[in-house]
Amino acid sequence: MDSDKLEKIIDVVLEDLQTSRKFYICDDITLRAEVKNALNVASTVLPEHRQFFHSLLSDIELDRDRYQRFTKHDAISAFEHIRQIIEVEKRGFHFIFENNIVSNRDNIVLTSGIVTTYASTGSNIVSKAEQYPDSPILISGASDFKTKWSDMINEFDKRLREGDDALNRYNEAIRKQERATRIVNLIGTANIFMKTKRKAVLFREDIPKIIDELHTSCRDENHFVTKICTLQQLFEVSLDPLRKLVQEPNGLRSIRLVEKWLEENKISYDSSMIRTWLHINSLRNMFPVHPEPPKELFEILTFFDTTFPPNHALLWDKILQKFAQSLEEWNRILESI
């Protein structure tokens, strides 16, 4: 079966999803089977994206509670993104065929894989925003993703015609866009978990610049100061709900309160999660760097796999990398309690 037939199957499934009165896929046995069949077909037609399709199938199979339920909006978003993936591959390989360029093939396969990952992350945040319209950060993140996604095909065409170097830069840019979208999704999801289970949150969601700062590269030291200040503001939440979770809060701030709560409840966690958050807080007060930087700065730079004097673009990239990992750990913890 080729991609044209897959697109026709997707069109039929999308029409049935749009007209279904059920909100959750598993509440409609026929629709559930139809969605699973389309994903299995997609896995055969686009084998290099099999992991993405299997992750969606796994989400359907694990549909057990209201935190994990696979909605028709999840499916609609996923199939719309699969259409885009097919379009990327069609345009890419058509360009190779027309111009008899063999060297681009591996790059286009790589691009397609990166786009798939971005599609999966974006599909997730769009679905979450629809389920939780009172989450400002999820709403903003979903809107940002839709805007960027709508321009992706045209941008791909442009970079493809500029050659391998341009395509490599495009791939790296999409990776960073995906990471930023994932961070926003993880922040919103963690707050939903914690509000539901402990009536508290760790992250602010009302910071206007946070989406832009997460998605853009760092230009210089002044730009880094702006970015780290914005990131640090995420932890400036109301402390009373967090204080109620621990014995003797003793003037502790948000991160230390979470650390104390984890320890008091004997919840296992990766210590680098707390260290990442504390180091972000510390960096907020260390820039611009003075002639005699504090010793702690050298330790923090080492933690983020950079050196002194810092390359601000690299440091910001490393911070986001660690921050994303810390959020994945935090969500794991919240899911397990």
pLDDT averaged over consecutive 10-residue blocks of the chain (337 residues)? 79 85 78 87 79 75 57 77 72 54 62 78 83 91 88 76 82 92 95 93 92 92 92 94 92 94 94 96 76 79 91 95 96 90
**Distance, CA of 75 to CA of 105 (rounded, Å):** 30
Question: How far are the Cα atoms of 27, 124, 183, 243, 256 from residue 68, in angstroms, in the given order?
Answer: 14, 11, 18, 29, 29
Q: Which residues partner with 24 through β-bridges? A: 71
Residue entry with tokens 């990992």: 325
**pTM for this structure?**
0.78
Q: How far is CA 202 from CA 6, 9, 180, 197, 280, in A?
A: 43, 43, 18, 13, 14
State both tokens at 206.
């009302």
User: What is the rounded distance in angstroms from the CA atom of residue 193 to the CA atom of residue 271?
Assistant: 21
What's the rounded Cα separation, in Å, for the pair 22 and 107?
Answer: 41
Q: What is the pLDDT of residue 26?
A: 74
At 93 the three-state DSSP class reads: helix
Contact 282, 300 (CB under 8 A): yes
Report yes or no: 149 and 122 within 8 Å, Cβ to Cβ.
yes
What's the 3-state SS for 98-156? Answer: HHCCCCHHHHHHHHHHHHHHHHHHHHHHHHHHHHCCCCHHHHHHHHHHHHHHHCHHHHH
Half-sphere exposure of 7 (CA within 13 A, CB side): 10
Tokens coding 180 = 């930023």
What pLDDT score was predicted for residue 314? 95
**By the 8 A CB rule, do 292 and 302 touch?**
no
Cβ atoms of 298 and 279 within 8 Å: the answer is no
User: Is residue 159 packed enough to be buried (19+ CB in 10 Å), middle (13-18) or exposed (0-12)?
Assistant: buried
Contact 111, 171 (CB under 8 A): yes
First to last CA, the chain: 45
For residue 66, the model assigns a pLDDT of 46
Q: What is the DSSP secondary-structure string of 214-242?
A: HHS---SHHHHHHHHHHHHHTT---SHHH
